């Protein structure tokens, strides 16, 4: 159960991103600047903490540096960028639907490359979770789905890079601690984002203190802590099970929007949320049986 709790907590933290992001945008923060600065702050914070508390976790084998560079480039920098441009060229609903194809990619890759079994329970849970995400974000409403080829390609890129992040994390956590894994993935990702963003970051100098406070919250909680918990979950459960559990994120994001922003939830969205929760309970319940 520990792995499911870690993955679900990560999803809960990721869900706060939508609320905090909207607050940051009210202060003039732009999306690409936000994703770059959050990665930088997360990296610097974690490096400082590990320097004081666990300096040995700052080290990785030199032969693994190319892996972490790839991990940071694809799993962090390209993932953030693809999702941002998917939102720009298509709708939020379409971008989220395409992003959350990644549990299916992870499940197939887990079978092929990690020897993870694909039993009936996992297959049903995967289908229920994906269908639930579709309903939660309003995929049944044609008005929320704008099919733009560029946007769809970026959305698919977001799903693929999220899958690569997950699978790379599964490999890395077998060799390093979750903190070390996130430090190097986020560090390389931040470096690539800084190279791409360049002078565009100068606008951040003019952000008010409250904007910086919100950005710091995003860096510490739905970035640093959430990704570390998600990576840690794969020490206990398969990558496919962790990614299916993470589909709780859009459910909790919709719940937070309802409770905090006063947004409405339609019956089909509630049904979708129930399907995702049912999928997670199905997986974790089967895990309890296996442990028993």
pLDDT value, residue 89: 86
pLDDT value, residue 202: 83
Residues 269, 271, 277, 278, Cα dihedral to 10°: -160
pLDDT value, residue 185: 97
pLDDT value, residue 289: 44
Contact present, 24 and 211 (Cβ < 8 Å): yes
Give the pLDDT confidence of 8-37 residue by residue, as tens digits.
999 999 999 888 988 998 999 988 899 999
Give the residue carrying structure tokens 């693994």: 64
Global pTM reads 0.91
pLDDT value, residue 288: 54
Buried b (16+ CB within 10 A) or exposed e, 6-42: bbbbbbbbbbbbbbbbebbeeeebbbbbbbbbbbbbb
Other CB atoms within 10 A of residue 243 CB: 30
pLDDT value, residue 147: 72
Exposed/middle/buried for 148, CB within 10 Å: 0-12, 13-18, 19+? middle
Give the residue carrying structure tokens 């028993």: 292
Q: Which residues of the chain have pLDDT under 50?
A: 289-292
pLDDT value, residue 270: 94
Give the pLDDT confidence of 99-140 residue by residue, as tens digits.
999 999 999 999 998 888 888 999 999 999 999 999 998 888
């Amino acid at each position: 159960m520990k792995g499911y709790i870690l993955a679900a907590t990560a999803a809960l933290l990721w869900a706060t991103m939508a609320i905090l992001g909207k607050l940051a945008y009210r202060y003039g923060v732009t999306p690409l600047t936000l994703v770059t600065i959050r990665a930088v702050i997360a990296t610097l914070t974690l490096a400082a903490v590990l320097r004081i508390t666990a300096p040995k976790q700052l080290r990785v084998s030199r032969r693994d540096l190319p892996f972490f560079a790839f991990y940071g480039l694809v799993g962090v920098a390209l993932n953030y960028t693809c999702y941002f441009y998917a939102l720009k060229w298509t709708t939020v609903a379409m971008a989220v639907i395409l992003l959350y194809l990644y549990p299916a990619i992870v499940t197939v890759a887990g079978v092929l490359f990690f020897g993870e079994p694909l039993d009936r329970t996992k297959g049903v849970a995967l289908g229920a979770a994906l269908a639930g995400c579709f309903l939660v974000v309003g995929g049944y409403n044609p008005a929320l789905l704008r099919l733009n080829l560029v946007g769809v390609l970026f959305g698919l890129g977001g799903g693929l890079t999220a899958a690569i992040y997950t699978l790379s994390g599964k490999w890395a956590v077998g060799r390093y601690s979750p903190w070390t894994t996130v430090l190097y993935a986020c560090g390389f990702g931040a470096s690539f984002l800084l190279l791409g963003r360049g002078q565009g970051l100068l606008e951040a100098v003019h952000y008010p203190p409250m904007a910086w406070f919100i950005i710091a919250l995003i860096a510490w909680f739905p970035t640093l802590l959430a990704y570390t918990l998600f990576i840690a979950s794969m020490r206990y459960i398969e990558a496919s099970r962790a990614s299916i559990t993470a589909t709780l994120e859009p459910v909790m994001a919709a719940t937070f929007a309802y409770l905090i922003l006063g947004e409405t939830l339609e019956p089909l969205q509630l049904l979708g949320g129930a399907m995702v929760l049912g999928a997670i309970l199905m997986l974790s319940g089967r895990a309890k049986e296996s442990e028993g």
